[in-house]
């Protein structure tokens, strides 16, 4: 048995990530999937991590849980979960934390649940891994109780059904029940509503916030949907090309976004209050290659304002620096005054920002 | 489920009827008469006609088939007067060669083939699946490459080559094992196993190659599935993730191939039986064909067909046991 240091309670953020770097060695070269990202989440708070596919948001979450293939992945930096540093910790120690102190919900509950086992059995299994002394009956009772708490009707009957007999929303509820069965302090939800239709999306998000109040867990919500972020998150981290480009409270980042990439994301989302006839503005170009990231600011090839500062954006990687309000950080070479003027005059008319 | 089983049984019966008809027909397409073979070189046309009458092969073909089917289900009588021979159901006729009842021949031969195949199957499944699974988990390592190389060698070798090498190494040159022989399991389990160890090893090694490759490929596929990641995210130990989650999902195609392989082999493993001098169904079939021994050929071919048909049904039922999604449809 490996002794784990007792979790520290009540001091500072439950999850703290500092200068996280994740690299994969592939045949084509080294993929820098995450390149120096830092953030923290307190218990009872929700951090939304936003970005396109390949921005490094899922890689970050898998790194926290230690789910990357150790042979092909190099992780450096610090990941503190409840006072324990996970980077460099042995697989066995991290395994004991997985599912108990930190749990994860995946995007597609149909493929994330084992097709050959009943839903209840999979939840009970998650309970029994970390409660080796619990009997079959106790685990079943606990699983049925969890199914009930995530709003699945007739939980005792549903326990014995298989994933394919559940609807999409019910499946995601079951996934959530499985993640919460051990009362984790940290819940990572990787695009939990992307595979669901819109009405079910809202229910699942409501459920997550209700459960958060009940369990007081820290939640990291990974999404590409700013609407979801504005609905449930307290803080936002915007990622691009494996780096953080903007970080702050939801209020600040969505109301007064500072980074041109965030502007782009906001302009590509329809707003209920905006002009119904106005066209959405997509971000031109494609996400960058993580093997061969553009020099300087990784976003510069797609940025309309990249030339405002001479060629600084093309040569120098921008640091994440304070942008006005407390805790609001941005990584952009545009002078503060220029950013504010551009946002006011050119960007703010569209999107969820208003 | 019941409707499914009934439908499968009907299809199985139909398959057997067709196979028996084809075998019957094919046999009579052979240009030589079994009566001539039996009677010898110095037979007159009259003698041959007499033998034909006695065997019942002077009758028109449909009549012969009807007699055969009647014999299987209700028994039949051969010859008349002093030569009268009552053959109770299930009557498969008498060997043209030594007049032994075919049912007796089958009853003698089938246990030999069964023992060879079942023992071999345990070995080849155990060896193949575990080798494939470990290779998949250690993908790209020396172990993986070695296992793949060895199984490639296994897959390209033949029973008559590998079997003879084993025979030479383990019996003739070192005397580690007795020469293969068949002792009924009920008589002495130890002698049964000792006598069959060599054929088991031969079949086990050669057939495991296919299973190792198949299960390696299947494992690699399921290991990248989302539900395996979920299992790891729950904090399950690696061993449980690999067996209970990944292997369980990888097993379906292995069951299919194994079922059909075993079903096919039960009909006779001629080469193995011949090399190791075991009197199994495969040898009986080939000898009967060489001698135009129609009743024996009919019986063994039909029996082989029954095994394959039954194996198919078993595989289907196992599917439903393994995969709950099959149970509904």
pLDDT tens digits for A19-39?
Answer: 999 999 988 889 999 999 999
Average pLDDT over residues A283-297: 88
Probe site for chain A from B139, B226, B228, B230 (most A CB atoms < 10 A): B230
CB contact under 8 A, B233 and A116: no
pLDDT, position B87? 82
| Sheet strands (E) in chain B | 76-78, 85-87
Q: Where are the domains of chain B?
A: 19-87, 102-328
The pLDDT score that the predictor gives to residue B31 is 65
Is the confidence at residue B329, as pLDDT, over 60? no
The domain spans of chain A are 15-101+184-354, 112-182
Q: CATH for B102-328, among 1.10.3720.10, 3.30.70.2740, 2.120.10.30, 1.20.1630.10?
A: 1.10.3720.10
Q: Compare CB distances from A129 to B229, B235, B238 and report the shortest one's residue.
A: B235
Any B CB within 8 A of A26 CB = no
Split at pLDDT 50, 70, 90, the class of A354 is very low
What's the pLDDT score for residue A1? 45
Judge whether residue A190 has pLDDT over 70.
yes
Closest CB to B325: pick one of A99, A115, A125: A115
pLDDT digits (tens, 9 = 90+) for A300-352: 999 888 888 778 888 889 988 888 778 899 999 988 888 888 888 877 665 44
Mean pLDDT of A71-87: 93
Residue-wise pLDDT for A155-173, tens only, equals 999 999 999 999 999 999 9
Across B248-272, average pLDDT: 91
Whether the predicted interface score ipTM is above 0.90:
no
Measure B120 CA to nearest chain A CA, in Å: 29
Give residue-wise pLDDT tens across range B179-229. Answer: 888 989 889 999 999 999 999 999 999 999 889 999 999 999 999 999 999
For the domain spanning A15-101+184-354, the CATH number is 3.40.50.300
Q: Which chain A positions have a beta carbon within 8 Å of B249's beta carbon?
A: 114-116
> Would you say residue B308 has pLDDT above 50?
yes
**Residue A274: per-residue pLDDT:** 65
Contacts B323 to A, Cβ<8 Å: 115-116
> Which of A49-63, A162-176, A224-238, B79-93 is least confident?
B79-93
């Amino acid at each position: 048995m490996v002794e784990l240091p007792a979790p520290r309670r009540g001091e500072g953020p439950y999850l703290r990530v500092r200068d996280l770097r994740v690299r994969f060695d592939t045949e084509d070269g080294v993929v820098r999937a995450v390149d120096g990202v830092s953030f923290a989440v307190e218990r009872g708070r929700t951090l939304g991590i936003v970005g396109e596919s390949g921005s490094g948001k899922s890689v970050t979450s898998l790194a926290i849980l230690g789910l990357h293939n150790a042979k092909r992945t190099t992780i450096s930096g610090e990941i503190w979960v409840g006072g324990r540093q996970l980077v460099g910790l042995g697989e066995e120690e991290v395994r004991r934390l997985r599912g108990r102190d930190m749990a994860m919900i995946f995007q597609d509950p149909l493929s994330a649940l084992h097709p050959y086992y009943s839903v209840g059995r999979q939840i009970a299994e998650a309970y029994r891994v970390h409660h080796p002394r619990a009997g079959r009956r106790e685990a079943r009772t606990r699983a049925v109780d969890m199914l009930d708490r995530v709003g699945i009707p007739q939980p005792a009957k549903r326990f014995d059904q298989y994933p394919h007999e559940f609807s999409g929303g019910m499946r995601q509820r079951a996934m959530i029940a499985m993640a919460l069965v051990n009362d984790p302090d940290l819940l990572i939800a990787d695009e939990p509503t992307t595979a669901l239709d819109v009405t079910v999306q809202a229910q699942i998000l409501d459920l997550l916030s209700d459960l958060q109040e009940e369990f007081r867990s820290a939640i990291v919500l990974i999404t590409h949907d700013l609407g979801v972020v504005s609905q449930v998150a307290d803080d936002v981290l915007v990622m691009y090309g494996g780096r953080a480009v903007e970080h702050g409270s939801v209020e600040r980042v969505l109301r007064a976004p500072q980074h041109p990439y965030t502007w782009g994301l906001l302009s590509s989302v329809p707003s209920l209050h905006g002009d119904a006839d106005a066209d959405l503005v997509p971000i031109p170009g494609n996400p960058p290659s993580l093997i061969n990231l553009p020099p300087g600011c990784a976003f510069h090839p797609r940025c309309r304002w990249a030339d405002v500062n001479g060629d600084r954006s093309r040569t120098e990687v921008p640091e994440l620096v304070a942008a006005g309000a407390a805790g609001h950080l941005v990584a952009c070479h545009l002078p503060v005054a220029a950013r504010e003027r551009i946002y006011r005059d050119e960007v703010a008319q569209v999107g969820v920002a208003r | 489920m019941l409707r499914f089983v009934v439908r499968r049984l009907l299809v199985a019966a139909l398959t057997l009827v067709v196979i028996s008809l084809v075998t019957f027909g094919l046999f009579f397409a052979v240009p030589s008469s079994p009566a001539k073979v039996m009677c010898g070189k110095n037979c007159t046309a009259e003698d041959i006609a007499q033998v034909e009458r006695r065997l019942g092969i002077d009758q028109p073909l449909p009549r012969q088939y009807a007699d055969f089917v009647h014999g299987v289900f209700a028994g039949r009588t051969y010859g008349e007067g002093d030569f009268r021979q009552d053959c109770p159901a299930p009557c498969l006729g008498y060997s043209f060669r030594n007049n032994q009842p075919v049912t007796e021949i089958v009853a003698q031969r089938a246990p030999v083939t069964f023992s060879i195949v079942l023992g071999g199957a345990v070995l080849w499944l155990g060896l193949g699946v575990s080798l494939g699974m470990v290779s998949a988990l250690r993908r790209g390592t020396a172990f993986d490459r070695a296992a793949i190389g060895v199984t490639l060698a296994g897959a390209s070798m033949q029973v008559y080559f590998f079997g003879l090498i084993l025979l030479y190494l383990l019996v003739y040159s070192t005397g580690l094992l007795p020469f293969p022989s068949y002792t009924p399991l009920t008589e002495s389990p130890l002698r049964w196993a000792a006598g069959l160890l060599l054929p088991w090893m031969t079949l086990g090694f050669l057939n495991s190659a296919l299973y190792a490759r198949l299960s390696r490929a299947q494992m690699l596929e399921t290991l990248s599935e989302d539900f395996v990641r979920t299992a790891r995210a729950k904090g399950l130990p690696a061993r449980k993730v690999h067996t209970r989650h990944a292997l369980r999902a990888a097993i379906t195609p292995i069951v299919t191939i194994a079922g059909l392989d075993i079903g096919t082999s039960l009909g006779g493993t001629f080469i193995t039986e011949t090399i190791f001098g075991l009197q199994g169904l495969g040898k009986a079939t080939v000898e009967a064909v060489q001698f135009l021994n129609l009743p024996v050929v009919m019986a063994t071919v039909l029996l082989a067909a029954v095994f394959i048909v039954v194996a198919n049904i078993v595989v289907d039922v196992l599917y439903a046991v393994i995969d709950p999604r099959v149970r509904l449809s």
